[in-house]
A and B are shown apart, each in its own frame.
Chain A
Amino acid sequence: MNTRPFWISLVAAVGAAVVMVLPRRRLAALILVIAAASILPFTVKNFFVFQMTLVMVYTVAILGLNILTGFNGQFSLGHSAFYAVGAYTAAVLMEHGGVAYYWTLPVAGIVCFASGFLFGLPALRLEGIYLALATFALATATPQILKSTPLEHWTGGVQGIILNKPDAPFGLPLNPDQWLYFFTLAVALLMFIGAYNLVNSRSGRAMMAIRDNPIAARSMGIPVELYKSLTFGLSALYTGVAGALGALAIQFVAPDSFTFLLSIALFVGLVVGGVGSIAGTFFGGLFILFVPNIAEQVSKGLAGAVFGIILILVIYLMPSGLGGTIRLWLYRLLQGTR
């Protein structure tokens, strides 16, 4: 198998992450990234375009998790549930409602925001490991709920729903894979800019204050409960939109696509990319898509073991993830030049 595309995109990701973290170069970095991303689909095979679309989908999903865990300190192992809700919302709307694919995204977002907010309310009382467990329980229960008889008419039950990939609009000379790639790219960029602005705003600082010292935050007048629930909702929104995009890319939804293994994958992507690092989420997405494939190439029988070993090595070398480590290096580098 040709792994060259993976290494190219890895280098691009690292380069982008470095440039992103440099002060005053952000706009240039953004333009560079968009340019590189736009040229990509025309230089590689369709299959790789499909894979990169999935990488972007996972990146947005991880970004959602990052907002909750990285910036607000709430532990979640249940984001596969929100991903599933987003995916099924899109699928049901397209299948039963004949809704066009681009409208499914905002609807999925709103539905997921609501469900995230609602879940966030009882979760307010739970901390750390207990919250992790409650969210893990949510993730485990989701496939069962999706399969259940009351919902079967809408969800298609265990058979799932098959979707159609949209064609390029206005007769543009793009095949469906390429069009979906650009569509996903646009949505992902929007989400990134949104996340970036959020983090650098007053609300963002409030979120992070709650993460670092909830008691002090409360004493400063931040309505902690409201913020925590809203953050949960927002995080679910991001992951839900990712789920809807993912459903379009895969063209299929079924309950078994959304087991807790997905939650774990997103969590791994979060940590490997760097908790609290927005740019790092792209690396996380790359990791969870490509590394299992690489592990399978190394050893058929022990693919899982190889994956585990690679994961441990990555954590050893970069305990704060790629984003965190790059920030650390740059800090040291800039310190040295002073």
Chain B
Amino acid sequence: MELFLHQFLAGLATGGIYALMALAIVMIYQAIDSLNFAQGEMAMFSTFIAWQLLQWQLPFWAAFFLTIAIAFVGGFVIERVVFKPLRHAHQLAHIVVFIALFAIINSMAGFLWDFSIKSFPSPFGSHPLFGQRLISAHDAGMIGVTLIILALLYGFFRYTRVGLSMRAAAANPESARLVGVRVGRMVALGWGMAAAIGSVAGMMIAPVVFLEPNMMNSILLYGFAGAVVGGLTSPGGAVIGGFAVGVIENLAGTFVPYVGRELKLSIALVLIVAVLTVKPSGLFGERIVNRV
């Protein structure tokens, strides 16, 4: 029983990582109706920028917020420069460009900062929470940050004009244009916000997994899984999905006999496909109804 509890909590801790990533993914999905495969790399690159700022002796919180700002601008610029000219291309062409972006960012990070691991400090310290040894202060802090961002997003979309415009632009670009929403700008804004959230995710994740150019590869996959399980149209669902994936993966790995350890990843993925088969738009997603 004690092992179960420990693994459950450890799963929540890793799930927190996935949940943060899932938030960034949902954010970009809301903006462009597609999954950005380079999201993880953008998060990683932002974290390296933060690391570099820290190397240049900036205090932590200054580096933290400056990085978020840089990431926001970066996301915005990437959208305008790289994707705007491709606005009318096939969706598959977009995905190939995401892949290209992935390759470029990963290669540049390796070139600038090489491939050995670097430690990244946590603002929450690394002591166990309440001296309990069940969950560390950083893990708890990460979950807290996730919830804060979730709340901010919720408020943004629900209660601000800009948020409303963004939702309109994503839901129905034609009509949105007709009422004066600058759709192009909304998309770029969405990119900027996704990049910013991604940078926070990176800075929260790096203290746990250590900073190096390949750190986000599998986290991105789990983040996708969490977002999809929870529903790509629901930020809250994505967060729950992320936690769920973390916990299930841990428990399956520990308790499924014989093959659990080796096929941890496969089991998690099978579960996701199973969820999707039963509920194609995720647990909390909205059913998309098409008019014939």
Which residues of A are in contact with B by a Cβ distance under 8 Å?
69, 75, 122, 125-127, 129-130, 132-134, 136-138, 140-141, 144-145, 147-150, 215, 264, 267-268, 270-272, 275, 301-309, 311-312, 315-316, 319-320
Contact = CB atoms under 8 A, between A and B. Distances in A.
B273 A122 contact: yes
B103 A311 contact: yes
Contacts of A215: 290, 292
Contact of A148 (B35, B92, B93, B259): B259
B234 to A, nearest CB: 14
A144 B86 contact: no
Contacts of A149: 259, 262
What secondary structure prevails in chain B residues at the interface with A?
Answer: helix
B265 A140 contact: yes
Contacts of A144: 262-263, 265-266
Interface of B: 34-35, 82, 85-86, 89-90, 92-93, 95-97, 99-104, 106-108, 110-111, 221, 224-225, 228, 232, 259, 262-263, 265-266, 269-270, 272-273, 276-277, 280-281, 290, 292
Contacts of B262: 144, 147-149
Contact of B276 (A130, A301, A302, A311): A130
B103 A133 contact: no
A308 B265 contact: no
Given A275-B92, A307-B103, A309-B100, A316 B265 contact: no
Contacts of A150: 259
A147 B106 CA distance: 27
Nearest to A137: B269
B263 A148 contact: yes
26 contacts: A69-B92, A126-B276, A127-B280, A129-B34, A133-B272, A134-B273, A134-B276, A137-B225, A137-B272, A148-B259, A148-B262, A149-B262, A215-B290, A267-B95, A267-B96, A268-B99, A271-B95, A275-B90, A304-B103, A304-B106, A304-B107, A307-B107, A309-B100, A311-B103, A312-B97, A316-B85
Given A126-B276, A144-B263, A275-B90, A312 B107 contact: no
A134 B97 CA distance: 21
Nearest to A130: B276
**Residue from B92, B108, B259, B262 with most neighbouring chain A CB atoms (10 Å):** B92
Given A272-B96, A301-B111, A125 B263 contact: no
B228 A130 contact: yes
Contacts of A301: 110-111
B99 A125 contact: no
